[in-house]
Amino acid sequence: MQCVTSTAFGPAELLHRLRARTTGTAVSPVTHIERVPARAGRTAPWPAWTDPAVRAALVAQGIAAPWEHQATAATLAWEGAHVVLATGTASGKSLAYQLPALNALATDPKATVLYLSPTKALAADQLRGLVRLGVDGVRPATYDGDTPREEREWIRQHSRFVLTNPDMLHHSLLPGHSRWGVFLRRLRYVVIDECHTYRGVFGSHVAHVLRRLRRAAARYGASPTFVLASATSGDPAGSASRLTGLPVTAVTDDASPRGAVTFALWEPPLLPVFDGPEDVAVEEAAPIRRSALRETADLLTDAVVAGTRTLAFVRSRRGAEVVASLARQSLNEAVPGLGDRVAAYRAGYLREDRRAIERALLSGELLGLASTNALELGVDLAGLDAVLICGYPGTRASLWQQAGRAGRAGGEALAVLVARDDPLDTYLVHHPEAVFGRPVEATVLDPANPYVLGPQLCCAASEAPLTDADLALFGDASVEIVQRLAAEGVLRRRPSGWYWTHRGRPEVDLRGTGGAPVAVVEAATGRLLGTVDPGSSHVMLHPGAVYLHQGVSYVVDDLDLEDAIALVHQEEPDWTTHARDVTNLSVVSVRSYVDAGPVGLFLGEVDVTNQVVSYQRRRIGSGEVIDTRPLDLPARELRTVAVWFTVSPRALTAAGVEPSEFPGALHAAEHAGIGLLPLIATCDRWDIGGLSTANHADTEAPTVFVYDGHPGGAGFAERAYGAAAEWLHATREAIASCVCDAGCPSCVQSPKCGNGNNPLSKEDAVKVLDIVLAALPPG
């Protein structure tokens, strides 16, 4: 098969070709075009301390001299300062940590280096780069869940540059630190790649895993230097310090060259709504936008036909499968066999499937790929010309990270953000200054979260008795937590410290997924198709659910939560499934509040109970509800942190909101508030939940709650509370500016609503937010 390595179309011409498909529509789908100019690079001399062998290896790979930011960060690390390099995609961050790390290995035959990445794909990519350099004596190796057991002992004994991830560090290396004693004693550098991804509960867990690593290294007499690499982010030094517990110096002046980028904001067109005779459009009906998945699939199809190597980022696993399937179908209709040049890529695939897809993309055998953010981070996809982003990825940092996958050879690139029918996406494509005119967000994590700190202290105690000096390492809150754990009998105090009292190790889930992944197995053959995290299993794998894998549709026969397995059979139904749930919430305590007359703004702890109770079957294409079927799944309980506001009934009625409309007004404001919160905090819509009620038992007033979807909270509610005026103003504007009459997915309807988006009152939601914004102080 011939591999296409370049495109005949520049970004501007390719965008013109894509827009040509929509010729004749009343409104252009492109709401804004941002042209990011090319930038020349600034080099620096090789640092004087660079080992000749290391320099020769780098020069042999075409690196004549480092960029200024690489040399600055590398020198800080070589001098023993903990450093974070926060620069743009494809700015060469790898060299900044490879240079001091490889120098240490070259000049000290006993030194070792530990590299941590959030994904296996990124670690594998870094390993390929180290092998190509070929510096003598480094012996790099990946140590992760895919590493055969027979290789692990060799890696412990012989590898001097171990590439792993926080999960493996937590589950294997630290519990078995005595077997890694020689490696830890000689540890010079710890590299933390893509550190901006460690946010929320996952980031809070990783912060303590790193403290446990520092503790273990100190036990063997080592005090390694930490070198962190991050996408451009707000307050990188502060975020890196919270993550490591160490003072960190930031290097942020990007001196690398950059090709020009054409960045388009694309809003799928409205479709006519039919009700009755097929040739009669009902203009009064609520407008419906063309699906962002369908739009992205068509754009991917057109790009592949044009010979453009294109990566489409899709927010969900199911969405990536749908986009790839639709593109393959369209391509095969145009040119039989061309659909084979497109594939899907997502977490949950088996190792051999992931590696085969990566190789095909790197070789050019694949022209188009629909991927979740599993390929967002750092993997060197040389030769890509365009990136399609199906739905805002949640943060500006992630948006630019994904867009940066194209044009990595320094050439011009095209990036297109395709808006979903969602309040935040709609707001952004009509307010480009919110995308291009603002700095990226700071990473939010909370190491003091008791639901994180307690289990992590248990892990530390199981590795070695906890001393008073250790507690200082884990933060001020650790003293109270340890005493509570001792009172519960989990830890026992002895003169030498606190000891773990159980025989086995503590079971702690770093990623907050709720335990072991659920295996998806084809019942007829016993073939393992993939896995789904337990937190999503009730929604994705309930009995009767439609599950997609590599474009093939399966229906779930049985979900065994105890054994973490779902049995499926292959079937191509003409319907999709949508789970529905019920939520109850009670206030536990109030941390802080603002008394603003008729409005109250609160931050505090809440208990949330959620249960998936049924699912709808909907026709593919039309979305028509066929039926609703009950489910018998256990309820889930969560103690977390929430932000909420109350409004007095008198203020609502004075603003023209009748008591009968309270539920719809508050429900609509809640949906839009959840949709717009990612504009303020580094969260995803699916990281948070909400509840609204016309008269909550604990507040005794009409109330809207927005809560973190993780035990103990993840820092998102605190960010919303601190920036409430900005957050709610954007929410109000998103609702008021929407072209619909009564509410739609672009403003107040939610794809995750457990009540089927009923009741909702768009007009009254604006009135609610007007009352709140008029009462709250601007700050």
Q: Which amino acid is at 658?
A: E
* Average pLDDT value over all residues in the chain: 88
Distance from C-alpha of 62 to C-alpha of 82, rounded to nearest angstrom: 28
- Which percentage of the chain shows pLDDT scores above 70? 91
More confident residue, 137 or 74: 74
C-alpha 446/C-alpha 683 separation (Å) is: 13
Q: Residue 380 — φ and ψ, nearest 5°? A: -80, 95
Beta carbons within 10 angstroms of residue 502's beta carbon: 11
Contacts of 471 (CB under 8 A, 6+ apart): 478, 479, 482
Q: What is the CA radius of gyration of the chain?
A: 27
Statement: residue 249 has pLDDT above 80? yes
Please write the tens of the pLDDT for every residue from 368-380: 999 987 665 555 6
**Overall pTM surpassing 0.85 (yes/no):** no
Model pLDDT, residue 19: 73
- The region of weakest confidence among 91-95, 415-419, 620-624 is 620-624
Q: How many Å from the N-terminal Cα to the C-terminal Cα in the chain?
A: 61
Cβ pair 522, 554 in contact under 8 A: yes
φ, ψ of residue 612 in degrees (nearest 5): -75, 120
Q: Flag whether pLDDT at 443 surpasses 70.
A: yes
Range scoring the smallest mean pLDDT among 402-406, 435-439, 509-513, 739-743: 509-513
Give the mean model confidence (pLDDT) for residues 112-139.
91
Q: How far apart are CA 531 and CA 517, in angstroms?
A: 6
Backbone dihedral region for residue 496 (phi beyond 0: left; psi -120 to 50: alpha; all else: beta): alpha
Residue 750 has pLDDT above 90, yes or no: no
Q: Is the dihedral of CA 666, 671, 672, 678 positive or negative?
A: positive
Burial of 433 (0-12, 13-18, 19+ CB in 10 A): exposed
Give the pLDDT confidence of 615-652 residue by residue, as tens digits. Answer: 999 887 667 889 999 999 999 888 999 999 999 999 99
The DSSP code sequence of 404-462 is TTS-TTSS-EEEEEEPPSSHHHHHHHH-THHHHSSPPPBPP--TT-HHHHHHHHHHHHH
- Tell the burial category of 41 from Cβ atoms under 10 Å away from its Cβ (0-12, 13-18, 19+): middle
Q: Between the ranges 369-373, 433-437, 490-494, where is the mean pLDDT highest?
A: 490-494
- pLDDT tens-digit profile of 661-712? 999 999 999 999 998 888 887 776 678 899 999 999 999 999 999 999 888 8
